Chain A
Amino acid sequence: MIENVPLSGGSHRLRIAHPGARADAPRSQPGQFVQMLAAPSQHLLRRPMSILDEGDGWRSFMVKPVGPASRELVRLQAGEAVDTSPPLGRGFPAAPQLAAWQRETAAPLLLVGGGFGIAPLQFVARRLDALAQSMDYRILYGGRTASDVEVEVLSGVRGTIIPTTDDGSLGFRGTCVERAAVELDRAPAAGAIVLACGSHAMMRALYDAIGARVARLFVSLEEVMGCGVGVCMGCVTPSVRGYVPICTHGPVFEADAVFGPDVIPSAS
C-alpha cells in the first residue's frame, strides 16, 4: 500500500504498488479489475476491485467498506501488504476506438456511473483526455444522496460532469439512468455510445431505458467472484452464450449480450 486516502462519502482511494504499471502506456484497460485481499487476512478469497487509475509502478482503486474484506482493506496503512492479482477480465473499448466511433456518428458519448461504479469510468475519462485530439463526453455520476457522490475522484477530468441524486441534494434530482434518458432526448441518440458501471439493477434499468435508442451500450457487471480467471464458475451471468463467467467474458459486456432478447435465461 502506497497511499490510503479517505474520500468524502466513506470510500477510500487506495494506491497500491504494481511493478510494471505505467502512466504513459497503461498495461490495464479501464473496466478491468484486480483481485485483492489484505495480507495477512481473516478471509479466504481475494475480492475484485475495479481499477481507478494507473501510474508508474502503481494502480489505484476506489474501495467502499461494505463488507468484512473491504473493511479490512481500507484499514491498511501505507507500507502494509496487499495480496493482488494482475489486471483481469475484459474492460471497456479503448479510448482510440471510442474516438473513432464518435467521429463517425458525431453523437454523444456518455459515461454513466452509480456509486463507486464511477471508478472505471474515471479511468476511461483519463484515457480520453490523454488522446491527441480532445473529446467531447459527459459523465453522469449518480447516488442516493450528495454524500454518495464523491465527486473529488473526477477532479481534473475534462468532460462535462453531471452529478445526480435521488433526493436532489446535489445536481440533477433523479437517478443517473433517468438523466441518461434526458441527455439522449436533446441530442441525436441513434449514434450514441454509452459506457456504464453500477449495481446489476442499475445496469438492467439503464438497458431497459435507453438500450434500444443508442448505437452501443457497454455495461460492467458486478458479482461475487471466486477465482477471477474463469475456473470456479461462481460469477456467471446469463448471456446469449448461456451462463458465462463474468470474470473472463466481462466484467464489461455489450448490454445486448447479457440483457437482450437472445439471452438464454435458465440454468440447465
Chain B
Amino acid sequence: MANEFPVQIGPARFANPYFAASGCFGYGLEYADFIAPGELGAVVTKTITRAPRGGNALPRLQETHAGLLNSIGLQNVGLDVYLREKLPALVAAGGVPFVSIAATNFDEYGEIAARLAEHPDVVAVEVNLGCPNVDEGGDKDAAEARAVERITRAVKDRLPDRAVAIKLTPNVTDIVHLAQGAEQGGADAIVAINTLAGMDIDLLKNQPTFARVRAGLSGPAIFPVALLKVWEIASAVRTPVVAVGGIAGPTEAIKFFMAGAVAVQLGTVLYSRPTLLAEVRDGVRAFVNERGVAHPHALRLPRDCGVRDCNPSTT
C-alpha cells in the first residue's frame, strides 16, 4: 500500500509522495500506535542540531483561528543521540529517514552533513533554513539567496549520493530568489514553506504571549500562502518542489500537485489526526483516476493559465 505514485528526488526514490513534515512526527516512532512510519514516503524528522537543544521557555503553543502558533525553539536530542538511537529505530520500524538539520554557520552545516554521510541509512536531508524561533541560523539569517546557495553547496558537497532538500522561509520579500539560490547550490529539492512569523498578546498578563515575541504560524490558515509560494517557485526553477503548509485533507494535497509540487508533507494536522495519511492517499488516488491520468504529477497546471487578462474592463 505504501508503494503508490513513486517519486524521484535527486538520487533518492520514494515509494509515495506523502511525507511527514518536520516537527510534526517526532523522530518517526511516536505515532507508531496510529500509523506505521513505513506507510509514509518519508519521515522528515524533528530538526537535529549538532548539540542537543532544550528549546524555548513556556508557553510554546497558542491556537489561532484555523492555525497554531509555536515557539518550540528546535528542542532536540542532538546529532550524536539521533544517529545512535533515533535513526536506527526508525529504520528498524520500516521508516524512510529524511533528516532535518539546522546549524548556526556554514562550517557547522558541512560538519553535520559529513557526519550524516557516514550513515547509509540516511536517505535524504532537509536543511531547515526557515525557523523563526531561534537566535542564530533561523529565518533572518537565511533570507539571502547567496547564503542559501552557500549552505546548500556545503551540504550537497558532502552528500552527493543523497537527496538534499532546502526548506525555505516565507518570511522574506521574495522566496523565489531563495529558491534560485538553492538551485544554484545544487539542491535536489526545494521545500516550501516553513512557518509564517506571527505573534499573539496575552490579555491577562498584558504582554506578548511568547517570550521571544515571534512565533511560527502553521495549520490550515497558511495553506493559501503556501500554495502561492509553491506555484511561484515551481514556475521559476527546475528543481522539484516539495509542498508543505496547511494540508487538512486530500483537497490541499491535490492543489499542491496542481501548483507543481512533486511531493507533499503533512504537518500540524497530524497532531489531531495522526491517521490522516490514508484519507489523503485515497482522496488523491480517486482524483487522479477521475482525471484519467497516471500520476499526481500529471495534475500540474500549465503555467500560462496563471496569466489571464487581469483587468479586461480597462482596455
Residues of A within 8 A of B (CB): 35, 37, 43-46, 83, 86, 223-237, 242-243, 248, 264, 266-268
What count of chain B residues pass the 8 Å CB interface test? 34
Contact A44 B55 (CB under 8 A): no
Shortest CB distance A41–B (Å): 9
Q: A45-B68, A267-B56 are in contact. List 19 more A-B contacts (CB 8 A).
A: A44-B68, A45-B61, A45-B271, A46-B272, A225-B61, A226-B271, A227-B24, A230-B30, A231-B30, A231-B46, A232-B61, A232-B72, A232-B271, A233-B46, A234-B60, A234-B72, A266-B54, A268-B52, A268-B55
Shortest CB distance B54–A (Å): 4
Contact B68 A267 (CB under 8 A): no
Q: Would you give 22 A-B contacts (Cβ < 8 Å), ordered by A? A: A44-B63, A44-B66, A45-B61, A45-B63, A223-B58, A224-B60, A226-B61, A226-B68, A227-B270, A229-B30, A231-B31, A231-B46, A232-B61, A233-B46, A233-B72, A237-B58, A243-B75, A266-B54, A267-B54, A267-B56, A267-B57, A268-B75
Contact A44 B31 (CB under 8 A): no
Assembled-state Cα–Cα distance A64/B271 (Å): 23
Shortest CB distance B178–A (Å): 26
Contact B272 A45 (CB under 8 A): yes
Shortest CB distance A236–B (Å): 7
Shortest CB distance A237–B (Å): 8
Shortest CB distance B179–A (Å): 28
Shortest CB distance A219–B (Å): 16
Contact B272 A232 (CB under 8 A): no
Q: B23 in the interface, Cβ–Cβ < 8 Å?
A: yes
Q: B194 in the interface, Cβ–Cβ < 8 Å?
A: no
Assembled-state Cα–Cα distance A46/B53 (Å): 27
- Residue of A86, A227, A236 with most chain B CB atoms under a 10 A cut-off: A227
Which residues of A have CB within 8 Å of B46?
231, 233
Assembled-state Cα–Cα distance A200/B304 (Å): 58
* Chain B 25-67 interface residues, beta-carbon cutoff 8 Å to A: 25-26, 30-31, 33, 46, 52-63, 66-67
The one of B63, B68, B271 in contact with A231, judged by C-beta atoms closer than 8 angstroms, is: B271
Contact A44 B72 (CB under 8 A): no
Shortest CB distance B198–A (Å): 15
Which residues of B have CB within 8 Å of A227?
24, 30, 270-271, 274
Assembled-state Cα–Cα distance A223/B57 (Å): 13
Contact A236 B219 (CB under 8 A): no
Shortest CB distance A89–B (Å): 13
Q: B70 in the interface, Cβ–Cβ < 8 Å?
A: yes
Shortest CB distance B65–A (Å): 8
> Given A44-B220, A86-B33, does the pair A232, B63 have CB atoms closer than 8 Å?
no
Which residues of B have CB within 8 Å of A230?
26, 30
Contact A44 B268 (CB under 8 A): yes
Which residues of A have CB within 8 Å of B52?
268
Shortest CB distance B36–A (Å): 15
Which residues of A have CB within 8 Å of B61?
45, 224-226, 232, 234-235
Assembled-state Cα–Cα distance A46/B268 (Å): 12
Assembled-state Cα–Cα distance A205/B271 (Å): 32
Q: B260 in the interface, Cβ–Cβ < 8 Å?
A: no
Shortest CB distance A35–B (Å): 7
Contact B54 A242 (CB under 8 A): yes
Which residues of A have CB within 8 Å of B130?
none
Assembled-state Cα–Cα distance A123/B106 (Å): 55
Q: B73 in the interface, Cβ–Cβ < 8 Å?
A: yes
